[in-house]
Chain A
Amino acid sequence: MGCTPPKWTIHDLRQHLQYAVDLEFWTIPFYMSAMYSIKDPTDDAYRLIQSVVYEEMLHAELASNVANAFGHSPKFPAPAYEGTEIPHLNFNLDSPNPTEVYTPYSAEIGPLDEKRINSMCLIEYPEWDTGHQPDLQPKMSDYGSIGEFYDAVRVGAAELAEEQLRGGRNQVDLFRNFYRELAQTVTDDGRAGLAQALTIIAAITEQGEGQTEGDVDIQPEFRNTADGYHSDWPHFRKFTAIRDSRRFPATYDGVADPKPGSPGHAAQRTLIRNFTAFRKTLEALFSGGDLGAFGAQMATLGANVLTCWQQGAIPKFSQEGE
């Protein structure tokens, strides 16, 4: 790589914003499954994860709004949950390497356990300030943390805002009254719109890993004002609190591939069917469509995930190879 940073193209930026949506969306089934595996819904761990799930859904909306502002209506393909591969992130690039601490970890859907909580901490792991502007990486997997990835997006957005940013395109603010201090949409063009987009990105990163270096509260303007839990805690602090408690609550057991015809298998089929429909709803919603069945589908997914666990099956969100 030469000494001149590569210039961002609109293609690069739109691709990165799709990556952002991919990553935010990936976390939702992963976190939801861990949450609903907990038998006691009043348990602190349950409520902490639940509050993060809410914010990940917000993040998917926010990232979609920025993507639409730059002319890209995001897609919602079925996320993959395999091995240790968390999409678009390569923790080994982060320094210090957090996988040395948060291990073992797994990207496979499962109950709240050591592997899952380590993965959750890794995903939300704070970016260590390297003191320089992150470069555009052709592959998102070349970023070490979400923070670094979003820092790169900020650079790209700033470079392209004047020509490419248009406010009011397919903007969605489903959660307006849940985050009363946060403007969740990009309504202006060009530089003014960029300021809105950067605020949105700041909300995502502050709620997620928090500010770089040091355990700092989320700024009041980015906090859940309605139904949050420890609304001033970044996700990383919430997950670390669960991990450090060294006590996992009682969880359901499940098998990945229950016998066809069993209640667990049926529950997985239901979840796959409804999650597929949900993805279509999201694509339509973030392409200028109406709310559709979003509210009912989102709640039904929660019920489906819990039912999988209650029927002895690990939740499954898509067909093999989808």
Chain B
Amino acid sequence: MSESEHVFRIHPAIGFARVGNSEEFYLGPETMAGLPLAEGDPATGGLPIRPGTESQTITSSDLRDRNGAFKRQAARFRVYEYPRVQGEETYPNGGGREIGIGSTVDGKKVVDVVWTVHVANKKANTYVLDENYPTAGLAAYEDGQLPPLRNLAEGPDSDNAARLRKLTIDPGPRAIGGAGAGPVRVDRATVATYGEGAEIRRLPSYPKSFPQDSFAELFCPTGDVDTLGELRTDERGRLLVVGAYGRACAWYKDGKPSLLDQDVNNDGWFDDTADGPVNAALVFDDGSVAEVAGAWVVSTDPGYAPQIVNAVTLWDDIYDTWIRKLRLQPEIFDRRFRDDYAPFFGGFVDGPLGGDQGGEHGPLGGDRGGKHSRFDGQVWPMFRSAYLQRWATNLPDIAVRAHEAVDKISAGDDPAETILGGLAFIRDPNDEDADFTGAPFMPLSLGDSNKPFLSLTLTQYFFLTQWNEKRYRKEGGPRLGPGEYLDKAVLFAGLGGRFGPGIDMTFVVRQPGLWTPDWCRSGGGPFRIDAKRLDYASAQASQPFLGQGWVPLHTPPGEGVEPGDTSKLMAIPWHTDYNSCATHPTSPELPPESGGTTLYWSWPAQRPVVVYPVGELRGGKLGPQRYSLRGPGTQSPNPADQGRYQERLRFIENWPKVGVVIQGTAIDGVEVDPEYYLEVASQLDETEVEPWPINALPG
């Protein structure tokens, strides 16, 4: 087989690094959050992975380092080989074989993988996130309109060189190769590098820009924003992108740090989250090089509840976009949803997953009973999500019992006899009036921009209606290749549905123009962001390398997406949005006849509102619930303001102290029901008073 008969792709197509304030890190989850891992085993997916291991998941003891600092999360990327398809490829491919250093392809040995990553933070040089009905979110970009710029005081032109230099955090690209290499710092101090074929080129004149380059004085309560993370490789030459430290800095105005008085748009502030393209080149022992279809990395908030599945996951939103707008699976949607499509209910999918990927070196945690199996489905995961909400919200008992009944629906049940028969309690996303109708319609959490309540995606709802009509397959599926599984599992852990603006990614994922248009012919496969081709050889010290970048509904197709372009429309800094998004009244407000003071959860699966701390267990049974954000500085007499810091700055200092909700099977040192998902490793509890003697602080 000649080289041209293969294509190579990086998976996951989008990976997530997450910030932490520790030097240590773990690897991001590579299994489906909250879904079973093996028949008869209560453990569910979604737990992060211990570094240096293939798939050994962390326990509660691994969340913090020995000093109590919160570990960062690394996104792990791999290269997969696929046979080149003549004509158009279909999804799912079902195949794929992982390629690493030492692998043989067409008789040639891979001697190196040269990775290039370029992340940036453009939050300060983008548009205000409009939160006001009816122009919130993407609506503000419609009909040729644009929201006002953030930091307008720095100039009205977002492509102005001075403004770009001042407000964009751009460390330039970084390249890494070999096995067990790194760390390569993506920081202010080190030289930019990029891969060119088998070589790693230095870019000493790359026009890097960090806040310290433009502002003589910065207010940095937890440290300088002088890095966006680091790169490493593991023993097989896979790439690890580790997030930064979760810092935020303000510049001074009139002798004082810029105010931190908004939830989403704080002028005068930076944070150290980022996003950008991940590229790789395979280097063979004969000196030849093969290009690999690129991926994207996003560095964002910590995963405080990695196993709790969102009612609408990031996967659901992206999959829905690809189904309805990018012809991913015409058998499901061909100008309309096809009545003859029978979704997979959910179950274990057995059989080889391609190459050696189900086994020792695969993403699935090894060989299970002689068969490689994983759980997947298009219907039941929604039921599981409903059940899991109880671990991050204060659902009343009657609702918890109802959600348990939803979780117990099996493939063999007659849908008409179940608690969801007739879809009596599912909000219809095709009905705009339903957006304004709360209980008993589910999901009962806050909606997307301009919508009071959340709805499932159209694709999710279609799958449910087919199930309700008894047009479904009882088994698990679809059969994904190992790389495709990674794509899905990683996105499944992210937040979808409510992009106001979101936590992992935002409404830009619903724009067809964000994605590679020719996925079925290019060899790259789906879910890949249409990265702009960057000519690093042209970089000049005098000129910012990155511009304003991709703007939804404005950038012409084909211009591509720059580093920093997907995270720039998130909150600046992320901390204030996370802090505030516990519970809210709906926005827009409900009409008076529907009641106006009832509070609903914002993003409970991604931003736990209320948790069961492990320390509150009573004889092994659940104890009282607590706010996830609690302790000094969080109290308020008004429930609308509880469960968050009353002064936003306090969260910038305290986010590393927040606990993490994980399954009982992963909690060390105490007997915990494996069905429980409890908060561990919180440092926000009231501290005990030390016995006398005690001393005043000096001064």
* Residues in chain A within 8 A of chain B (CB atoms): 36, 40-42, 47, 50, 174, 177, 224-231, 263, 266-267, 270, 291, 293-296, 298-300, 302-307, 309-311
Cβ A296 vs Cβ B437 within 8 A: no
Q: Which of B424, B593, B594, B595 contacts A306 (CB 8 A)?
A: B424
Query: Which A residues are in CB contact (< 8 Å) with B418?
Result: 300, 303
Give Cα distance in the complex from A231 to B592, angstroms. Answer: 10
Query: Which A residues are in CB contact (< 8 Å) with B437?
Result: 41-42, 47
Cβ A295 vs Cβ B416 within 8 A: no
Cβ A300 vs Cβ B405 within 8 A: yes
Give Cα distance in the complex from A41 to B453, angstroms. Answer: 15
Query: Which B residues are in CB contact (< 8 Å) with A40?
Result: 431, 433
Cβ A296 vs Cβ B404 within 8 A: yes
Q: Which of B398, B416, B438, B597 contacts A294 (CB 8 A)?
A: B398
The 10 A-B residue pairs whose C-beta atoms are closest, nearest first, are A295-B398, A295-B401, A296-B405, A306-B422, A42-B433, A303-B421, A227-B439, A307-B421, A306-B424, A300-B419
Query: Which B residues are in CB contact (< 8 Å) with A293?
Result: 401, 405
In the complex where A295-B400, A299-B425, A303-B425 touch, is A228 in contact with B440 (Cβ < 8 A)?
no
Query: Which A residues are in CB contact (< 8 Å) with B405?
Result: 293, 295-296, 299-300
Q: List 18 A-B contacts (CB under 8 A).
A: A41-B434, A42-B431, A42-B434, A42-B436, A47-B437, A266-B414, A270-B416, A270-B417, A294-B398, A294-B401, A295-B400, A295-B402, A299-B425, A302-B425, A303-B420, A305-B424, A307-B417, A309-B422
Query: Which A residues are in CB contact (< 8 Å) with B428?
Result: 41
Q: Measured between C-beta atoms, what is the minimum distance from A282 to chain B in Å?
A: 13
Cβ A307 vs Cβ B598 within 8 A: no
Query: Which A residues are in CB contact (< 8 Å) with B424?
Result: 36, 41, 302-303, 305-306
Give Cα distance in the complex from A309 to B417, angstroms. Answer: 13
Cβ B595 vs Cβ A227 within 8 A: yes
CB-CB contacts of B57-84 with A at 8 A, as 1s and 0s?
0000000000000000000000000000
Residue of A nearest to B401 (CB): A295
Q: Which of B396, B419, B431, B434 contacts A296 (CB 8 A)?
A: B419
Give Cα distance in the complex from A225 to B418, angstroms. Answer: 29
Residue of B nearest to A230 (CB): B593
Cβ B416 vs Cβ A311 within 8 A: yes
In the complex where A177-B396, A266-B416, A298-B398 touch, is A231 in contact with B422 (Cβ < 8 A)?
no
Give Cα distance in the complex from A304 to B400, angstroms. Answer: 19
Q: Measured between C-beta atoms, what is the minimum distance from B18 to chain A in Å?
A: 34
Cβ A291 vs Cβ B398 within 8 A: yes
Query: Which B residues are in CB contact (< 8 Å) with A177?
Result: 396
Q: Which of B417, B420, B597 has the most CB of A within 10 A?
A: B417
Interface flag for B397 (CB, 8 Å)? yes
Give Cα distance in the complex from A42 to B434, angstroms. Answer: 6
Residue of A nearest to B416 (CB): A307
Q: Measured between C-beta atoms, what is the minimum distance from A202 to chain B in Å?
A: 22
Query: Which A residues are in CB contact (< 8 Å) with B417?
Result: 270, 304, 307
In the complex where A226-B598, A299-B440 touch, is A304 in contact with B399 (Cβ < 8 A)?
no
Q: Measured between C-beta atoms, what is the minimum distance from B442 to chain A in Å?
A: 10
Give Cα distance in the complex from A40 to B431, angstroms. Answer: 9
Query: Which A residues are in CB contact (< 8 Å) with B593?
Result: 229-231
Cβ B419 vs Cβ A226 within 8 A: no
Residue of A nearest to B398 (CB): A295
Q: Give the size category of B's interface with A.
A: 20 to 34
Give Cα distance in the complex from A36 to B418, angstroms. Answer: 16
Cβ B595 vs Cβ A226 within 8 A: yes
Cβ A263 vs Cβ B416 within 8 A: yes
Interface flag for B441 (CB, 8 Å)? yes
Taking A298-B398, A299-B402, A307-B421 as known contacts, 9 extra A-B pairs with beta carbons closer than 8 A to each other, sorted by chain A number, are: A225-B597, A226-B439, A227-B439, A266-B414, A296-B419, A303-B420, A303-B422, A307-B416, A310-B422
Give Cα distance in the complex from A215 to B430, angstroms. Answer: 37
Cβ A267 vs Cβ B416 within 8 A: yes
Q: Measured between C-beta atoms, what is the minimum distance from A55 to chain B in Å?
A: 14
Q: Which of B421, B425, B433 has the most CB of A within 10 A?
A: B421
Query: Which B residues are in CB contact (< 8 Å) with A267?
Result: 416
Q: Measured between C-beta atoms, what is the minimum distance from A256 to chain B in Å?
A: 19
Give Cα distance in the complex from A229 to B419, angstroms. Answer: 24
- B 596-613 contacts with A by CB, 8 A: 597-598
Give Cα distance in the complex from A302 to B419, angstroms. Answer: 8
Q: Measured between C-beta atoms, what is the minimum distance from B7 to chain A in Å?
A: 47
Query: Which B residues are in CB contact (< 8 Å) with A310?
Result: 422
Give Cα distance in the complex from A144 to B655, angstroms. Answer: 63
Give Cα distance in the complex from A41 to B434, angstroms. Answer: 8
Give Cα distance in the complex from A270 to B422, angstroms. Answer: 13
Cβ A306 vs Cβ B421 within 8 A: yes
Give Cα distance in the complex from A97 to B433, angstroms. Answer: 39
CB-CB contacts of B508-545 with A at 8 A, as 1s and 0s?
00000000000000000000000000000000000000
Query: Which A residues are in CB contact (< 8 Å) with B431?
Result: 40, 42
Cβ A228 vs Cβ B419 within 8 A: no
Give Cα distance in the complex from A309 to B420, angstroms. Answer: 15
Q: Measured between C-beta atoms, what is the minimum distance from A241 to chain B in Å?
A: 11
- B 368-424 contacts with A by CB, 8 A: 396-402, 404-405, 414, 416-422, 424
Cβ B416 vs Cβ A225 within 8 A: no
- B 549-606 contacts with A by CB, 8 A: 593-595, 597-598
Cβ A295 vs Cβ B399 within 8 A: yes
Give Cα distance in the complex from A296 to B399, angstroms. Answer: 8
Give Cα distance in the complex from A298 to B396, angstroms. Answer: 14
Residue of A nearest to B590 (CB): A229
Query: Which A residues are in CB contact (< 8 Å) with B597?
Result: 225
Q: Which of A50, A294, A307 contacts B422 (CB 8 A)?
A: A307
Query: Which A residues are in CB contact (< 8 Å) with B594?
Result: 229
Cβ A227 vs Cβ B438 within 8 A: yes
Residue of B nearest to A50 (CB): B440
Q: Measured between C-beta atoms, what is the minimum distance from B590 to chain A in Å?
A: 10
Query: Which B residues are in CB contact (< 8 Å) with A263?
Result: 416
Give Cα distance in the complex from A296 to B420, angstroms. Answer: 10
Q: Measured between C-beta atoms, what is the minimum distance from B125 to chain A in Å?
A: 42
Q: Measured between C-beta atoms, what is the minimum distance from A252 to chain B in Å?
A: 10
Give Cα distance in the complex from A273 to B598, angstroms. Answer: 35
Cβ A41 vs Cβ B400 within 8 A: no
Give Cα distance in the complex from A36 to B396, angstroms. Answer: 24
Cβ B439 vs Cβ A296 within 8 A: no
Cβ A291 vs Cβ B422 within 8 A: no
Residue of A nearest to B439 (CB): A227
Query: Which B residues are in CB contact (< 8 Å) with A230?
Result: 593
Query: Which A residues are in CB contact (< 8 Å) with B425?
Result: 299, 302-303
Query: Which B residues are in CB contact (< 8 Å) with A309?
Result: 422
Residue of A nearest to B396 (CB): A177
Give Cα distance in the complex from A36 to B425, angstroms. Answer: 11
Query: Which B residues are in CB contact (< 8 Å) with A307?
Result: 416-417, 421-422
Q: Measured between C-beta atoms, what is the minimum distance from B147 to chain A in Å?
A: 31
Q: Which of B398, B416, B440 contacts A174 (CB 8 A)?
A: B398
Give Cα distance in the complex from A230 to B590, angstroms. Answer: 12
Cβ B419 vs Cβ A225 within 8 A: no
Q: Which of B396, B399, B401, B419 contacts A303 (CB 8 A)?
A: B419
Query: Which A residues are in CB contact (< 8 Å) with B438?
Result: 227
Give Cα distance in the complex from A174 to B422, angstroms. Answer: 26
Give Cα distance in the complex from A50 to B441, angstroms. Answer: 12
Query: Which A residues are in CB contact (< 8 Å) with B404?
Result: 296
Query: Which A residues are in CB contact (< 8 Å) with B396?
Result: 177
Give Cα distance in the complex from A226 to B444, angstroms. Answer: 12
Give Cα distance in the complex from A177 to B419, angstroms. Answer: 23
